[in-house]
Amino acid sequence: MLTQQECDFLHTRMKGTMIEALGMRFIPTDDEYAVAEMPISPATRQYLGILHGGASLTLAETIAGVGSLHLTNYDETLAVCGTEVSGSHVAMSATEGMVRGKAKLIHASKGTHVWNVDVVGENDEIISTERVTNRIIKVKKDLI
């Protein structure tokens, strides 16, 4: 879904944000998935040393948001706003390495996109699965 050029653009745009702070990187693909990876690090671990569930949700919402930006052709008159994210943590995560989120579009209309995101470890085992809903809204010029 995302080209290398889009990934490079997104990495530049995300400087100074939570996305950069958590070490997320967008991955180009030639299929219908939006993909990003994130390291398991002190910034993303919970007290037991494993990936924090909130970090998984953040990864999922970020990937779904980027997928929606792609679908809107990065139209600056539109804003992608996450309105709902829910997840099920189905396996214990590793304590180091990388996790990868893979978002697949479930529904798209003019005003709403719904995504399913699977977060997997380096062994491709699903750690959590999330559902993300984004609203696509017109941006008023005086709010930018």
What residues are annotated to the active site? 61
CA dihedral 36, 42, 45, 47 (to 10 degrees): 180
Name which of 136, 102, 134 is nearest 116 in CA terms: 102
The residue among 62, 75, 79 whose CA lies nearest residue 135 is: 79
